[in-house]
Amino acid sequence: MGSGIREVAVVGFAQLTALEDREHNEVELIIPAVQGALADAGMERHEIGFTISGSCDYLSGGPFTFVSGLDAAGAWPPVKESHVEMDAAWALYEAWVAIQTGDVDSALIYGFGKSSLGDLHEIMGLQADPYVVAPLWPSMVDMAALQASAFLAATDYTESDLCAIAARSRRAAVDNPYAVRVEDATAQELLARPVTHTPLRDSDIAPITDGSAAIIIATREIADARCERPAYIRGIDHRVDAQGLGLRDLATSASTKLAAQGAGVSNGPVDVAEIHAQFSHEELILKEALGLDDAVVVNPSGGPLGANPVMATGLIRIGEVAARIRSGSANRGVAHASQGPCLQQNLVCVLEGDQ
């Protein structure tokens, strides 16, 4: 899929999270993210060529949540606009495609969701086959735990390796003001806590998080004028696997591997990776599929184990990598987004600053 013809960079990013936001509705959650991303990019609303969001009606318990979400985007005069019922990382992909066609030069992408309103884990279980799986009501955690079980059985990894990931993520999250779950605990301390969903502990499971995020992307012409060190998208690709858990080798992620190849992860050194692992074991599976070695700093933000505003979590991975490139603390990084039961669908985005 390659790098596209037009160079496109992340020039603005903002996010907003809360463990359980009882105050704001979705529209009110989006406003600061959109305004923040615009401010970060130094752009006005009317300068944006394309607007797109990612959200899930089922999180809010009624149809057409994204319709009211548009109220936060300032869509007047009428805007070129679209919506995906996907994590907003895929909205960013659609925006990148729109820029590639030459129709627009910049885009505002936002994702939002309030996981706390309903039972997120039960709701996402309804992504499963509606005839032979969903009627048994496995939750998304149950299905993830099945993958963890299969993964540990197929590899030399143990539960303590999962706890090590959880411990590192919680510690990294201490420095992230948007993390909702932080803790300075050792892997041993976590390992001593009860298993809640064999073989997973609460610390292996991303917290319920309400939140939103917004990103501005733009062509080089705009990016270089507005931004001291834009984070250029060098490659972006996404792939899907078959859903049936029995149809896949759960110890690996074939779709991530393909997307990583398409995005060109191995075309250069990787300084940092933000991986959309909602469960500890997923990080191990994904790191392998992405072809990242141990020198790569993984999830310095704390990752989804620190904050998981579903439908924005993947977009935030792109924002976090871009922020590190823009600040100069990294030169080349990999952002990964995922959705669907047991990492069914995966997106990989390679970002880089100018040398």
Partner 1 sequence: MTAPLMQHHILEYPGGYTRSVGPAVGRYLSGLRDGHIVGVTGSDGRVLVPPTGYDPVTAATLEDYVPVGPAGTVTAFTWVNQPRPGKHHLTHPFAFALVRPDGSDTAMLHVVDAGSPDAMSIGMRVAPRWAPARRGYVTDLEAWVPLADGETPVPAPPNTNEDVSTEPVTGIVTPISLAYDINAGVAASKYLRALSEKRIVGQRAKGSDDVYVPPRGTDPTTGAPTEIEVEVGQVGTVTTYCVVNIPGLSENSPEIPYVCAQILLDGAHTAWFGLVQGLPADEVRMGVRVRAVWADDPGPDARSIKWFEPTGEPDAPYDDYKAYA
Partner 2 sequence: MSALRTAVIGVGQTRHVVARHDVSIAGLVREAAEEALVDANMDWADIDAVVIGKAPDMFEGVVMPELYLADALGAVGKPMLRVHTAGSVGGSTAIVAAKLVMAGIHERVLTVAFEKQSESNATWGLTVEMPFSSPLVAGAGGYFAPLIRAYIRRSGAPTHIGHLVAVKDRLNALHNPKAHLHLPDIDLATVAESFLLWEPLRYLDVCPSSDGAMALVIGSEQVAKNATGPVAWIHGTAMRSEPTMFAGRDQVNPLAGRKCAADVYAQAGIKDPRKDFDCAEVYVPFSWYEPMWLENLGFCAEGDGWKLTEQGATAMDGDIPWNPSGGVLSSNPIGASGMIRFGEAAQQVRGRAGDYQVPLHTGLALGHAYGGGSQFFSMWVVGASQPQ
The binder of partner 2 chosen from 34, 83, 89, 245 (CB under 8 A): 83
The binder of partner 1 chosen from 4, 28, 97, 288 (CB under 8 A): 28
Token digits of residue 287: 């790191």
Measured distance CA(6)–CA(305) in Å, rounded:
34
For residue 312, give the DSSP letter.
T
The binder of partner 2 chosen from 239, 317, 324, 336 (CB under 8 A): 239
337 in Cβ contact with 256 (< 8 Å): no
Task: Determine the interface stretch with partner 2 among 85-93, 195-203, 288-296, 314-322 (rule: CB under 8 A).
Answer: 85-93
The binder of partner 1 chosen from 8, 14, 16, 72 (CB under 8 A): 72
Complete DSSP assignment for 102-141? TS-SEEEEEEEEETTTTTHHHHHHTTS-TTTTGGG---HH
166 in Cβ contact with 203 (< 8 Å): yes
Measured distance CA(285)–CA(155) in Å, rounded:
10
- 83's contact among partner 1, partner 2, none, with CB below 5 to 8 A by partner kind, is partner 2
**Least distance in angstroms from the C-beta of 111 to partner 1:** 16
Measured distance CA(222)–CA(49) in Å, rounded:
12
**Least distance in angstroms from the C-beta of 255 to partner 2:** 7
The binder of partner 1 chosen from 136, 156, 177, 228 (CB under 8 A): 136
Task: Determine the interface stretch with partner 2 among 2-10, 39-47, 183-191, 284-292 (rule: CB under 8 A).
Answer: 2-10
297 in Cβ contact with 272 (< 8 Å): yes
The binder of partner 2 chosen from 211, 309, 340, 353 (CB under 8 A): 340
- 113's contact among partner 1, partner 2, none, with CB below 5 to 8 A by partner kind, is none
Token digits of residue 135: 């009627």
Q: Minimal CA–CA distance to 38: which of 30, 29, 48, 28?
A: 48
Complete DSSP assignment for 326-348? HHTS-SEEEEEEEESTTS-EEEE
Q: Does residue number 295 form part of the binding site for partner 2 (CB under 8 A)? A: no
Q: Under the rule (CB under 8 A), what is the footprint of partner 1? A: 21-28, 31, 34-35, 45, 58, 60-62, 68, 70-76, 117-119, 122-123, 126, 128, 130-138, 142-143, 145-150, 153, 196-200, 242, 244-247, 250
Q: Under the rule (CB under 8 A), what is the footprint of partner 2? A: 1-2, 4-6, 51, 56-58, 61-64, 66-68, 70-71, 75-86, 90, 93-94, 97-98, 100-103, 123-124, 126-131, 134, 237-244, 247, 254-255, 258, 339-341, 344-345
